[in-house]
């Protein structure tokens, strides 16, 4: 919760990746708040009062995952809304004549997106979700100390640069610093 709040303000891409990790942590702990209370919450290193707040946050996420039917896979609506918001911003940025650099970054990333979508086995997902899924998969491989090919690294680097640029545009938009002509 503390990390999520900070990341949401600072970097929306990191926030989303973090929230996907939290969903996986909940799944790995079998939606058992007592297990999460014993294994996850102490890692936050906070006061008992803050730990209780974090526990309530996990309980709410568990309930959302159950009620939204994403216990085995998928993401809660809260996280899907981030993708929707970012997609809307992305489309506005592509239409804007002032955002030539953003457009160039997107078109440089597009071949990797197409390649990843082709490898996904026909699973339809939005382009940005494809990007986030690729980065998240890469992070999971790194956590497992698995090797990643240089070709894959090339794609992940480009996708990461693109998502970082989108995140910066998102932050600028929230601050009212981004003026897009429609």
Identify the CA nearest to 113 among candidates 96, 92, 90. 90
Q: What is the pLDDT of residues 155-175, one digit of tens each?
A: 999 999 999 999 999 999 999
Examine the domain organization and report whether 109 and 159 are in the same domain: yes
Q: How confident is the model at residue 117 (pLDDT cuts 50, 70, 90)?
A: confident
pLDDT of residue 122: 60
Which residue, among 11, 142, 166, 159, has the nearest Cα to 91 in the 3D structure?
Answer: 166
Mean pLDDT (the chain) is: 93
Do 90 and 48 fall into the same domain?
no
Q: At a CB cut-off of 8 Å and minimum separation 6, what does 28 contact?
A: none
Close Cβ partners of 152 (under 8 Å, ≥ 6 residues apart): 138
Q: Domains in the chain: how many in total?
A: 2
Q: Shortest CA distance to 86 belongs to which of 148, 158, 14, 182?
A: 14
The reported pTM is 0.92
pLDDT tier, 8 (very low <50, low <70, confident <90, very high otherwise): confident
Question: Is residue 127 domain-shared with residue 99, that is, in the same domain?
Answer: yes
In this predicted structure, what is the pLDDT of residue 69?
Answer: 96
Q: Is residue 100 part of a domain?
A: yes
Domain closes at, from 16, 33, 67: 67
For 57, the domain range is 2-67
**Boundary of a domain, candidates 25, 40, 67:** 67
Q: What angle do CA 154, 110, 14 make, to 5 degrees?
A: 65
Domain boundary pick from 15, 43, 67 = 67
* pLDDT given at position 182: 55
């Amino acid at each position: 919760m503390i990390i999520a709040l900070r990341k949401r303000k600072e970097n929306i891409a990191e926030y989303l990746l973090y929230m996907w990790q939290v969903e996986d942590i909940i799944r790995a702990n079998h939606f058992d708040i007592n297990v999460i209370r014993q294994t996850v919450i102490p890692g936050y290193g906070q006061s008992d009062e803050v730990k209780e707040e974090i526990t309530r946050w996990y309980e709410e996420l568990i309930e959302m995952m159950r009620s939204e039917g994403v216990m085995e896979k998928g993401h809660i609506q809260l996280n899907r809304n981030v993708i929707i918001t970012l997609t809307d911003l992305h489309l506005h940025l592509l239409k804007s004549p002032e955002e030539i650099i953003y457009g160039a970054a997107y078109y440089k990333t597009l071949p990797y997106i197409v390649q990843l979508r082709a490898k996904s086995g026909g699973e339809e997902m939005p382009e940005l979700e494809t990007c986030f899924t690729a980065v998240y998969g890469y992070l999971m491989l790194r956590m497992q100390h698995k090797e990643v090919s240089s070709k894959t690294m090339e794609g992940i680097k480009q996708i990461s640069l693109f998502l970082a640029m989108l995140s910066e545009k998102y932050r600028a938009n929230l601050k009212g610093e981004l003026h897009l002509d429609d």
